[in-house]
Amino acid sequence: MPKALLLENIHPLAAEALRKDGFDVETMTGALNEDELIDALDGVDLLGIRSKTTVTRKVLDARPELSAIGCFCIGTNQVDLGAAASKGVAVFNAPYSNTRSVVELVICDIICLMRRIPAHTHHMKHGVWDKSATGSHEVRGKTLGIIGYGNIGSQLSVLAEALGMRVVFYDLDEKLAMGNARRCETLTELLEQSDAVSIHVDGRKSNRGFFGEEQFAQMKPGAIFINASRGFIVDLDALKNHLDSGHIAGAAIDVFPEEPKSKGDPFITPLANEDNMILTPHIGGSTLEAQKNIAVFVAQRLVDYWFRGSTMLSVNLPQITVGACKSAARLCHLHQNFPGILAKVNQYLGEQDLNITAQSLGTEGEIGYAIVDVSGKPSRNTLDALEAIPGTIRLRVFERD
């Protein structure tokens, strides 16, 4: 019976789906550090994580039997994707399943900050009745600047326009504008005109610390700032300075450079005492609807890979979509992208009188992936020969009963 380990309180629907397909599933509520993860992966075929568990090359080297990793979230920067590919470990995520949840939180943050709800709430809790329109604004007619116009940024653009906001965006890549949104040529152009700035960039290393003192200084006086993307992108000390000076009227932060591994762990931030501040514990995608969608979506990707070899929506391997094997056996040959490897695979199969009934090949950078259905069950000698082909990373075999 194949074994799956699900960490970080992944929604129970994931475990339910895997058990239904014959997996022995172990679940844990918290994240694990590197050494703890190595110990926990003993005998594990599939690993499920969220954003707090880091899968390093050391982990992958220590557990070569691991076949696939499911990131039950949007990001995959917590996994060494190159090392995983070199070990033949497929990595899947859920790039669209919680988009709406993040967008709704950001819209909520914008309205609350524009109306100074956090500040008024703080004053009321401390016995101060401060009924005043000072600093309180409607979002209608204001300019929202979106940094990063991918799945989340573009959907935020649509909802913001529905509220009557003017939308501008900045992205390194050419992106089709939604509705009446307008693309800015530079980040400075966006910052100087935006009444609200919301960041939605990915977790690539080049984005680390990209928004700091220089960018905050370029923001329009009295603007608000929101980060619900990655914690290491923003210099929070610089943000605090601009909040204290009054240059920035308010901020909402959902992600932080360092976050606790488990629910209930202590958390300290210098932003806690800021007046018009919303602090949330990385809950942008944490709605029941999103977590259910993610659980079902990623679990299905893992099942399809384990039983069919399908790499549809894998983030680190060539993507091949295949149905169920209708022949005697299916061979999934993951290899370095060298010329002639597929020819050698076919040669060895032909020498064993194994007729090829279906074949798919995909390449992605330095990795190649071939799925070959054959009319008979391959012998041990045939499998040994295929595994011995120079450049072979991993060979998986599925035989029909």
Give catalytic residue positions. Answer: 230, 259, 282
> Which DSSP symbol is given to 231?
G
> In the structure encoding, which two tokens stand for residue 378, read together?
């391959």
Locate the DSSP E strands across 36-175. 46-49, 68-71, 90-92, 143-147, 166-170
Burial of 265 (0-12, 13-18, 19+ CB in 10 A): exposed
- In the sheet that holds 277-279, the strands lie side by side as 182-183, 166-170, 143-147, 196-199, 223-227, 248-253, 277-279
Nearest CA-CA partner of 294 in 11, 30, 55, 37: 11
Instruction: Say what angle helices 151-162 and 99-114 make with each other, to 10 degrees.
Output: 50
CB atoms within 10 A of CB 3: 17
Residues 6 or more apart whose Cβ sits within 8 Å of residue 67: 45, 46, 88, 89, 90, 305, 306, 396
| Distance between CA atoms of residues 180 and 396, nearest Å | 50
Helix (H) or strand (E) holding 398: strand 392-399
Give me the DSSP letters along 174-224: --PPPTT-EE-SSHHHHHHH-SEEEE-----GGGTT-BSHHHHHHSPTTEE
| Distance between CA atoms of residues 67 and 90, nearest Å | 7
Q: Could you give the residue ranges of the DSSP H alpha helices within 48-136?
A: 57-62, 81-86, 99-114, 117-125
